[in-house]
Amino acid sequence: MCTQTGCRNPLHCIVPPFILENMAKSDNTKVRDFAIKNLAQSAAARATREILAFAPNLLISASPAASRYRLVYDMRGNTSPLPGILKRSEGDPASGDTAVDEAYRYSGNVYDFYKGKYGRNSLDGNGMTLVSSVHYGHSYNNAFWNGSQMSYGDGDGIVFSRFTKSLDVVGHELTHGVVQFTCNLEYSRQPGALNEHFADVFGVLVKQWRMKKPLSRTMIAKMWLIGNDLIVTAPTRKAIRSMSNPGTAYTNDPYLGTDPQPKHMSHYYAGSADSYGVHINSGIPNHAFYLAAKGISGAAWDKPGKIWYKTMLALTRTSDFDDCARASIAMAGSLYGVGGAAQKAVKKAWKTVGVI
């Protein structure tokens, strides 16, 4: 369970607690004050979550047409009550508020991606309305899925800008919703790291799918990064996470510290922080997916994405890395041939990261 910093289960935050803890200790008083303020706002978020637990059907509802249906609300700097004031509904013209319009556009991209590529009708497979609230809290450095909806902070403007800015982050958070309605991996230890892993996988895949082709060199460099569009870049930081090279998203950064993600089981984090490393050890399966995608030719959302999507549906609440490896290898075989190139690539990837 993420402690102290706004990510207590079942809130699924994009910025892990260890980053915010570093920011709360910063010498920069502005960064420190915002981080400390985030802690108080997070307590309010948890209270809201408890209120939602009594009325879950309020927000988890099928859309009128049981197809793509988006609602975007404005929290106007408050943290409760969610969802806030309705600013844009499905089919409405642009609101003129960048965060509102990004949340609307990107949640639509995520819906279209899941529907078009994997035949999934929204998060629950049944046309669930995609509810987003923007301008959550003051300079709030996070975005989260609370079990019913998305919420996005505006960021402190020093380390993070607004959290609606990265399509991969929107895809990440909404995928926590898909996980919740499918394998529902518990948010701790290896099942929790897999929960984070699937969110990162489909976050980058929806981003890659939307990138304009042909890809420039800059685009290629960003393909496997999470949150690069919303981080205020500096020589010491480029993203929140890297799937191509976990552990390199930020290095000796004065506010963030150094990216602790391993990319091999030999560096597995065995401590209790971050819900026993859900945002840390996810680097291992993340890197396996990256290697599998590299080993299978074509777009990553095509064969590798389909294998991982079906694997996500096949896992259970307590599945661990080994279960995920075996299920994805079996899935690659059943989809693209036992002993075929795709299955070989998936197997090799899990071996390279030391899971099998």
- Residue position matching structure tokens 């047409």: 65
| Cis, peptide link before residue 254, omega less than 30° from 0 | no
Q: What's CA 198's distance to the chain center, in Å? A: 8
CB 240 within 8 A of CB 255: no
Q: Tell me how far, at minimum, the Cβ of 199 lies from Zn ion, in Å.
A: 5
Binding span for Zn ion by CB under 5 A among 12-20, 31-39, 53-61, 241-249: 12-20
Q: Which is nearer to Zn ion, 12 or 88 (CB)?
A: 12
Residue 8 binds Zn ion (CB under 5 A): no
Q: How far apart, in whole angstroms, are the C-alpha atoms of residue 139 and residue 160?
A: 9
Residue 12 binds Zn ion (CB under 5 A): yes
Residue 70 binds Zn ion (CB under 5 A): no
Task: Give 187: exposed, middle or buried? Use CB within 10 Å, 0-12, 13-18, 19+.
Answer: buried
Per rule CB under 5 A, count of chain residues that contact Zn ion = 3
Q: How far apart, in whole angstroms, are the C-alpha atoms of residue 297 and residue 176?
A: 27
CB 55 within 8 A of CB 21: no
Q: Which is nearer to Zn ion, 285 or 333 (CB)?
A: 285
Structure tokens at 41: 């706002």
- Residue position matching structure tokens 């993600």: 261
Instruction: Characterize the bridge pairing of strands 130-134 and 150-152.
Output: parallel
Query: Per CB under 5 A, which of residues 179..208 are in contact with Zn ion?
Result: 196, 199
Q: Tell me how far, at minimum, the Cβ of 345 lies from Zn ion, in Å.
A: 26
Task: Give 95: exposed, middle or buried? Use CB within 10 Å, 0-12, 13-18, 19+.
Answer: middle
Q: Which is nearer to Zn ion, 71 or 201 (CB)?
A: 201
What's the length of the chain?
356
CB 240 within 8 A of CB 161: no
Binding span for Zn ion by CB under 5 A among 4-12, 237-245, 296-304, 320-328: 4-12
Q: Tell me how far, at minimum, the Cβ of 176 lies from Zn ion, in Å.
A: 6
Query: Per CB under 5 A, which of residues 322..341 are in contact with Zn ion?
Result: none
Closest of 228, 225, 232 to residue 30, by C-alpha: 232
Q: Which is nearer to Zn ion, 199 or 249 (CB)?
A: 199
Q: Tell me how far, at minimum, the Cβ of 296 lies from Zn ion, in Å.
A: 25
Active site residues: 173, 279
CB 226 within 8 A of CB 240: yes
Q: Which is nearer to Zn ion, 227 or 333 (CB)?
A: 227
DSSP annotation of 332 reads: H
Q: Tell me how far, at minimum, the Cβ of 287 lies from Zn ion, in Å.
A: 17
Binding span for Zn ion by CB under 5 A among 5-13, 183-191, 320-328, 333-341: 5-13
Closest of 195, 171, 294 to residue 243, by C-alpha: 294
- Residue position matching structure tokens 């642009």: 94
Q: Which is nearer to Zn ion, 26 or 151 (CB)?
A: 151
Q: How far apart, in whole angstroms, are the C-alpha atoms of residue 277 and residue 272?
A: 7
Q: Which is nearer to Zn ion, 15 or 52 (CB)?
A: 15
Q: How far apart, in whole angstroms, are the C-alpha atoms of residue 347 and residue 325?
A: 8
Q: Tell me how far, at minimum, the Cβ of 147 lies from Zn ion, in Å.
A: 13
DSSP annotation of 253 reads: B
Q: Tell me how far, at minimum, the Cβ of 72 lies from Zn ion, in Å.
A: 20
Report the interface residues with Zn ion, using CB under 5 A: 12, 196, 199
